[in-house]
Amino acid sequence: MSYVTTKDGVQIFFKDWGPKNAQPLVFHHGWPLNADDWDAQMLFFVSHGYRVVAFDRRGHGRSSQVSEGHDMDHYAADASAVVEHLDLKNSIHIGHSTGGGQVARYVAKFGQPQGRVAKAVLISAVPPLMVKTAGNPEGTPVEVFDGFRKALAENRSQFFLDVPAGPFYGFNRPGAKVSQGVIQNWWRQGMMGSTKAHYEGIKAFSETDQTEDLKAIKVPTLVMAGDDDQVVPYKTGALLQAKLIKGSTLKVYPGFSHGMCTVNADVINADLLAFIRG
């Protein structure tokens, strides 16, 4: 198994597939999952000749279950550790949900200053700020995130079945085509990680104001979201991202859920490929 050790001693697990001289695509997963959540994209893009890299966030999947550093600054620094270890250049960074926040901070703080990033993609991503505040009146009330914390602390295993069986993939919608395999795979990925990392990660993805990260992004950026996203509402996520990132491209998919990379992989992969090649 492949690992890189960060400056603060955390082992970050990564996958690195495809030709080493090909353009690299780096995938950043959502909460509370791991690099396996990108299976449908990794297989597709490696078959199209790209070098594909994905890694498990600290405390998630196969990376170290450390006590500290479950915040967006450490997430971005860990991403940079993987990129620097593999010496990736001209790379395209693709982030889903919390991973979208990770991409925004990575690109702003590391990727652009180091000249390593060519393009970025934010999919159903959490920036600029999820939680409702005086300055963000359309955000999600903190009580919702407190509910996540309570459910996780009381019965993480059940909570990690309820989320994918319900809002994450839109399986709670009338007429939805429910996949038990997708639900169980979400549960499997979640339960591989640390409950402390997951608990503290809720604050990281919901309360980190990334307005300045988005404003700092200068590379071509694709913003993607489903208009039936029940986890990260597109009106307070994707629409604001597109406004804050100059020259970005916005694609909103009618009826698509938060987990559209998995359940609508054919559509998402085709659009990603067109953007990457464009």
Does 97 participate in catalysis according to the annotation? yes
Catalytic choice (97, 206, 248, 257) = 97
Does 29 participate in catalysis according to the annotation? no
**Which residues does 88 contact at the CB level (< 8 Å), separation at least 6?**
24, 26, 53, 116
Round to whole Å and give the CA distance between 21 and 203: 38
Catalytic choice (29, 60, 93, 258) = 258
Whole-number Cα distances in Å, 127 to 24, 118, 209: 24, 20, 7
SS3 content of the chain, % helix, strand, coil (to 5): 45, 20, 35
Round to whole Å and give the CA distance between 18 and 9: 28
Among 204, 230, 218, CA closest to 100: 204
Among 205, 165, 155, CA closest to 185: 165
Catalytic choice (213, 229, 248, 257) = 229
Does 91 participate in catalysis according to the annotation? no
Catalytic residue positions, numbered: 97, 229, 258
